[in-house]
A and B are shown apart, each in its own frame.
Chain A
Amino acid sequence: MIVMIPLMQLLLFGYAITTVVRNIPIAVVDNSGSAVARAITEQVRVTQVVDITHYYATAVEAERAIVAGTVRAALIFPENLAQRAAGGEPVGQWLVDGSDTMVSAALLGLRSMPLHLEAGVPAGAYQAASPSFEVALFFNPERRSEVNIVPGLTAIILTMTLTLFTAVSLVREREHGNLELLITTPIRPLELMVGKLVPYIFVGIIQITIILGLGQLVFNVPFQGKLLNLAAVTLPFIAANLSLGLLFSTLATTQMQAMQLTFFFMLPSILLSGFMFPYDAMPQAAQYIAEVLPATHFMRLIRGVFLRGAHAGQLLPDILWLLGFTAVMLAIATKRFRKSLD
């Protein structure tokens, strides 16, 4: 414990955390169908700032993908690309999810990138248009960082408090002696687990109401979505954290241990979930670890619903993942819980 945990965390976070944003997933919409568009796309791709993951036929589809969080930006080439290029006008438009200021800053950096439009002409020869692209920043045009941070904070605060609530719950009863009485009754382990979990769901709802309510009031974070969608993404996350806490409670023998387990889990939730550093910038291995954390999924969900007005249906994979996580944690906790003092 004393040696391994600092060592593991230092190595993990040292490698994983980077503020240099690369490989942002974007889509390309080419209305011109021209060789010039393909040439520009290639030049954008080799910057490594973006990773072209999708091609769409229309700008509307691309916008929908941005709202759903499939891509962070879309590069739109107009029909009259050739004329614009000849006339020295900007050759395309970026539609950018501006909610994460770190991501939008990286994409804004591409606005004036030097382009060469014909084979054989060296880069920088195309000087006429400055900037090379137009950029439309969605959802956070003023580039205020609190717009991104306040919804993200809900994930961090809920992870910390809710996991701790259930993590100490069973251990506390064990320490107080209540459990010895409970396990001599006909109560079933699953009943006990669900009974421990359900009241805290209401606590979670109160907490998220406070955080987001104050976020709007104090930090003026715009709420773009619908309450129903907010509930649909928040409840699975609350349940996921609570069920994880229950598992901790069956692993720990003292409240102190339960707390340590929770804090051990907290750090990756803060650092790898995309709350402080963009998920897309992390190395692949760190992304795999991040995918396990409920906070990572909720970070996408809450920002999608709150800032981009996404529907729960568009974010289904993350919601299903949280529900699955809850079921698995609950099952393991129930299986681990024995009605004996052995």
Chain B
Amino acid sequence: MTELAISARALSKRFGDVIAVDGVDLQIPTGQIYGFLGPNGSGKTTLIRMLCGLLTPSGGEVRVLGLEIPAQAETLRRKIGYMTQKFSLYDDLTVAENMQFMARVHGLSHRGAALRIEELLERYALSSMRQRFAGAMSGGQRQRLALAVATLHAPTLLFLDEPTSAVDPENRRDFWEKLFDLSDAGTTILVSTHYMDEAERCHQLAILETGHMRNQGTPQALLAQLQDRVVEIAGDHLRQVKERALRLPQVQSAAQQGVRLRVLLRAGTEDAAGYLRAHLEDRDLKLSNAQPSLEDVFVASTSGGKHLPVHSVASAPSPPRNSSSCHAIA
């Protein structure tokens, strides 16, 4: 069994009447890139803040790098890097000044800091803009600076909260290259995102919705679970076909993609294409089984608007969307 960088049991956080995170269990192995995939308001940021000791959990237990959190949060702070969702360096300081300041805060020696800053400026292609004010940089440049600062003190664990939400696809790809370099050097990385293409790059994924963990596993395992349940329909009047498809009990979701309609069927449906063909009663439609995508996994896991439980890789029943029936199952 691999060593765990983070383990959490029944982790919960409530703000007044709002339950932001509800009974999440986590086991994140050392050295992996672990993704939190979920829409806005799914509890990703709250979860990350609890894991790095910024928020006190309302319930549950957390161990990060072998430390009790939040009790030993102060010790943990020397070992982690944190990149906040919002750019949180100083807009009115230059690239170099921001880095020097944070190096001093982390207690790096003058000499050590100077060497490390040069190394990072080089690695993150910031050398040419060391005198540029952080506030005057583009989204991609800021995010490279934020990553450089988060790794100044060579942390063994990195928390990245939606690091690429303001970045174009090319910069996003470069950014992920840097993350794989860090991961290769042994850094454990926890990254939250709402982009499917980013989620696909993670070693392991947790799908979050309204504070609940809906599904967990490697992207491949999550995709395999959906095999034979995605059907693509080509033909005329797709809007009407979609309406009819959504009324069928075995159809979980239907989304139009250009000239095709992508239909996701519930777990346990045998011969998905046959089922649809039999029930849609339209001989002009062309139906074919399709490769599931991570978006399908996401929709399947989060019940995609139709309120029925889905099953995770471990075939444990995930709690349904509304919490009242959740209590009924528990």
Contact = CB atoms under 8 A, between A and B. Distances in A.
Interface of A: 176-187, 339-342
Given A176-B88, A180-B88, A342-B55, A186 B74 contact: yes
Contacts of A176: 88, 91
Interface residues of B, number: 24
B88 A181 contact: yes
A85 B49 CA distance: 86
20 contacts: A178-B88, A178-B89, A179-B88, A181-B82, A181-B84, A181-B88, A181-B89, A184-B53, A184-B54, A184-B77, A184-B80, A185-B77, A186-B105, A187-B105, A339-B73, A339-B74, A340-B55, A340-B70, A341-B49, A342-B56
B62 to A, nearest CB: 14
B112 interface: no
A176 B87 CA distance: 9
Nearest to B49: A341
A179 B86 CA distance: 11
Interface of B: 49, 52-56, 70, 73-74, 77-78, 80, 82, 84, 86-91, 102, 105-107
Interface of A: prevailing SS: loop
B82 A184 contact: yes
Contacts of A186: 74, 77-78, 105-107
Contacts of B77: 184-186
A183 to B, nearest CB: 7
Nearest to A188: B74
* 5 closest residue pairs by CB, A with B: A181-B88, A177-B88, A184-B82, A177-B86, A341-B54
A177 to B, nearest CB: 4
A185 B102 contact: yes
Given A178-B88, A181-B88, 17 more contacts: A176-B91, A177-B86, A180-B54, A180-B84, A180-B88, A183-B54, A184-B82, A185-B77, A185-B102, A185-B105, A186-B77, A186-B78, A339-B54, A339-B74, A340-B73, A341-B55, A342-B55
Nearest to A341: B54
B77 to A, nearest CB: 5
A181 B106 CA distance: 12
A184 to B, nearest CB: 4
Nearest to A185: B105
A178 B90 contact: yes
B234 to A, nearest CB: 47
Most A Cβ at <10 Å: residue of B54, B55, B102 = B54
A218 to B, nearest CB: 34
A129 B82 CA distance: 85
A181 B147 CA distance: 12
B142 to A, nearest CB: 12
A182 B101 CA distance: 11
Nearest to A183: B54
Contacts of B54: 180, 183-184, 339-341
Contacts of B52: 184
A341 B55 CA distance: 6
A327 B49 CA distance: 32
A99 to B, nearest CB: 43
Contact of A340 (B56, B87, B90, B91): B56
A179 B52 CA distance: 14
Contacts of A342: 55-56
Most B Cβ at <10 Å: residue of A185, A339, A340 = A185
Contacts of B88: 176-181
B37 to A, nearest CB: 22
Contacts of A178: 88-90
A183 B107 CA distance: 14
Most A Cβ at <10 Å: residue of B86, B90, B105, B106 = B105
Contacts of B73: 339-340
A276 B171 CA distance: 62
Contacts of B78: 186
Contacts of A177: 84, 86-88
Nearest to B85: A177
A178 B73 CA distance: 19
B317 to A, nearest CB: 33
Nearest to B79: A186
A185 B56 contact: no
Contacts of B53: 184, 340
A99 B161 CA distance: 62
Contacts of B86: 177, 180
Contacts of B102: 185
A185 B75 CA distance: 10
Contacts of A184: 52-54, 77, 80, 82
B85 to A, nearest CB: 8
Contacts of B91: 176
A182 to B, nearest CB: 7
A170 to B, nearest CB: 14
A183 B88 CA distance: 11
Most B Cβ at <10 Å: residue of A181, A186, A187, A342 = A181
A187 B33 CA distance: 27
Nearest to A192: B105
Nearest to A181: B88
B117 to A, nearest CB: 16
Contacts of B106: 185-186
A339 B77 CA distance: 11
